Structure 1
Amino acid sequence: MKRRDVMLGSTALVLAGGSAAHAKLPDSSVWTAYDLGSSGYAEASGIADAIMKKHPMKVRIVPSGTSIGRLLPLKQGKATYGFLANELYFAAEGTYDFGVPAWGPQDVRVVLARPAGNAMATAGDIGVKSIKDLKGKRIGYVKGNPSVNVKTDAYLAFGGLTRADVEVVWFGSYNAMKTAVINNQLDSFSSVTTSANMREIEASPRGLTYPPFPPSDKEGWDRIRQVADFFEPYRETAGAGISKDKPIDLVGYRYPMIATYANANADEVYSLVKAIDESMDLIKNITGSAINWAPKVSGKPPADAPWHEGSIRYLKEVGIWTPEHQAWQDKRMERLKKIQAGWADARKKFKGKDEEWPAFWEEYRVKTLGLHPSSA
């Protein structure tokens, strides 16, 4: 797939260790992120501001409430980086909204991936103490956003629930769910704990609570991983109603992940990681979790796609990237190439109509590639 790098000019940077200055940042760059009010948008904006204070680069951020809306500008070459959620995983796998003929497995790469906790943000006035208490409640889903929807399915599974056990409420954008909770049109939806949306719900008459995901509940965690295998127990210490003195056991994953396509300019990607590393004094206080953007934290696998060569080059230079990380990278690249080759083979063998393709591809993934089903 061809795309045009957003590289209108360059600024030379001094490389680590005083080596020759070959790395470059563009004069202008376009990034995508979740919509206004999300922690992803806040952190994309804050990182852009921090870099622009130290380097003559202008950044424009394009917000979108859907996975397709965040990734399509990258595919089209209209943006270079996206602050993405788990749509990155689905795009690499060619599943869910990316399992249609127009998409398929994308040759995407991770630049940096911040560890994060995720929760079912739940109105505090409905008596929910555990995930199983969400039975019969109004649960938010977003059209065109498998990142949100699969997480929600996984979290319900922790409590032994499915969509059939709750009242599913569909929205056109992620941000709309916050307003719906405050207006008593929705009871719960998946979210990070540090976004401005959570502060608004916490301050509303309904209040805010997060049903926990105890690591000791092995059966619950087995059920989560049957839906999606990239989740781990995570003790959250920051966010609305959460502190180091009042932590809570939630679900760990990577969000946001700065992502791009494999053919993004490696020198530019290197320079972006370096610029973020050198701007952490300004970045660390953007949100309660922004300190985790430091490459020594966000520059380590696992994440939802392989890492970009430009990132790896910088991470190696500063001693962050280890042989264990490279082993993970090699395995992840092998999986990505297997899926890409499988997609090409399946497309050759497919003789049906476009609307029949997703089911054909799902069966091919499971039976021919030996991959887990992409839906619960």
Structure 2
Amino acid sequence: MHLKLTTALTAAVLSLVTALPARAGDAELPRSLLWATYDVGSSGYVEASAIADAFAKEYGTRVRIMPSGTSIGRLLPLKTGRVQYGWLANELYFATEALYDFAAPEWGPQDLRIVAGRPSTFGMAVAADSGIASIADIRGKRVPRIKANPSINIKVEAMLAFAGLTWDDVEVVEVPSYGAALKAVVDGQADVAGSTPTAATLYELESSPRGILWAPLPKENAEGWDALTSVADFFAPATATKGAGISEDNPANIFAVRYPMITVYADSDEDEVYNFIKALDETFEIYKGATAATPAWSLAEAGRSPADAPFHPGAIRYLREIGVWIDEDQAWNDKRLARLQKVMSTWEAASEAALDQNVAAKDWPAFWEDYRSTALN
């Protein structure tokens, strides 16, 4: 009887321990997490893996990563609750604005919030043996276009516009994912690809017989930048000094973005988000040397505005505590949140108008585009 009682008590204690959140320092995390990221070979996947490893070491939290090469593939599991955090790129902006794939009736503006977003750069990676020295030289060359990935495609479209080019001026190579786009350049099936400079696959290109260059976007070219930002106005000139084929002595003139941005829905529990960003901060010393990009996950950089969506209250609470979030950030956040709420109310009004006017499902995208343009601009 004593043995049975001891066994039962032991089992009860083990069950309780398993149910409790992992704890180290002040941050508390659940025993397991599931994250959606860009596909294998992307810098976002590598960085998420490094941070997941740090969470495992510090808190005993087991993180599973679901990679996907498409915007819908990363956001759908977040929307359905299958994953708790999405590591997103500019599809976050498109999802909040109900643009491109997110203009579909089953999507619409998504009420998303940022936890943190690493400052990043993006440019046109060029196979050195392709004879391309400028954006203008891409005319007639093979350029990947990724299915269901407006985040990458809009960046490529904007860079082409820098030299007065469009998709009609290049040989489009349709690919299923971001990773496939980069691999196509390595394998000789494409000549260029839009990418963040720290993507793992680009180091493979750098060391391959093809080699790597970056098509420059010189900031003094005002006409080029006017054309680029007419496609997407959230890009700005930047000089990259880290990445494949890039160094302090050989910088690249490309543009600035935030990627990846750790993202949740607005209704995510404030305390859970607070503990997540605290854990991100507490484990920084463990993962900061994982790649050339991971030092930028310091919250002094990754916890500031602007970004592609408003920040979550749980994140803001922690950022205020550590002195990162200031009145300037709050003012930006209030304005961005008001914009998102306006887009959401406009979507509702457009949906009612479409119903009153018997707009067919096939005509909805054009109807929403016109309604949105009038109401929001």
CA RMSD of aligned residues (A): 1.4
Label 1:178 to 1:12 Cα distance change in 2 as closer, same or farther (>3 A). closer
Q: Distance in 2 between matches of 1:71 and 1:256?
A: 13
Deviations 1:179-237 (A, max 9, x none): 22122211111001111110111111111110111111111111111111111111101
**Displacement of 1:14 after TM fit?**
5.2
Q: Are 1:13 and 1:271, in contact at CA under 8 Å, matched by a contact in 2?
A: no
Answer 1 or 2: which has greater helix percent. Answer: 2
Determine helix, strand or coil for the equivalent of 2:372. Answer: helix
Structure 1 alignment gaps of length 5 or more: 1-6, 16-22, 371-376
Question: In the alignment, what sits opposite 1:185?
Answer: 189
**Which entry has the higher C-alpha Rg, 1 or 2?**
2
Q: Distance in 2 between matches of 1:151 and 1:8?
A: 44
Question: In the alignment, what sits opposite 2:333?
Answer: 329
Tell me, yes or no, if structure 1 residue 318 matches structure 2 residue 322. yes
Determine helix, strand or coil for the equivalent of 2:289. Answer: coil
Q: Distance in 2 between matches of 1:63 and 1:326?
A: 32
Q: Are 1:8 and 1:28, in contact at CA under 8 Å, matched by a contact in 2?
A: no
**Displacement of 1:162 after TM fit?**
0.7
Question: In the alignment, what sits opposite 1:308?
Answer: 312
Deviations 1:269-316 (A, max 9, x none): 111111111111122112111100011110001111000111100000
Question: In the alignment, what sits opposite 1:43?
Answer: 47
| Equivalent residue runs for 1:37-116 within 5 Å | 37-116=41-120
**Displacement of 1:164 after TM fit?**
1.2
| Equivalent residue runs for 1:1-376 within 5 Å | 9-12=20-23, 15=26, 24-350=28-354, 351-370=358-377
Letter in 2 for 1:59: V
Q: Are 1:110 and 1:258, in contact at CA under 8 Å, matched by a contact in 2?
A: yes
Q: Distance in 2 between matches of 1:329 and 1:14?
A: 29
Deviations 1:167-187 (A, max 9, x none): 111111111122221222111
Determine helix, strand or coil for the equivalent of 1:175. Answer: helix
- The number of equivalent residue pairs is 357
Structure 1 segments, 4+ long, off by >2 Å, are 7-15
Q: Distance in 2 between matches of 1:312 and 1:8?
A: 28
Letter in 1 for 2:376: L
TM-score, normalised via structure 1 length: 0.93
Determine helix, strand or coil for the equivalent of 2:122. Answer: strand
Q: Distance in 1 between matches of 2:91 and 2:203?
A: 25
Structure 2 alignment gaps of length 5 or more: 1-17
Q: Distance in 2 between matches of 1:284 and 1:14?
A: 18
Q: Are 2:28 and 2:279, in contact at CA under 8 Å, matched by a contact in 1?
A: no
Q: Distance in 2 between matches of 1:8 and 1:243?
A: 47
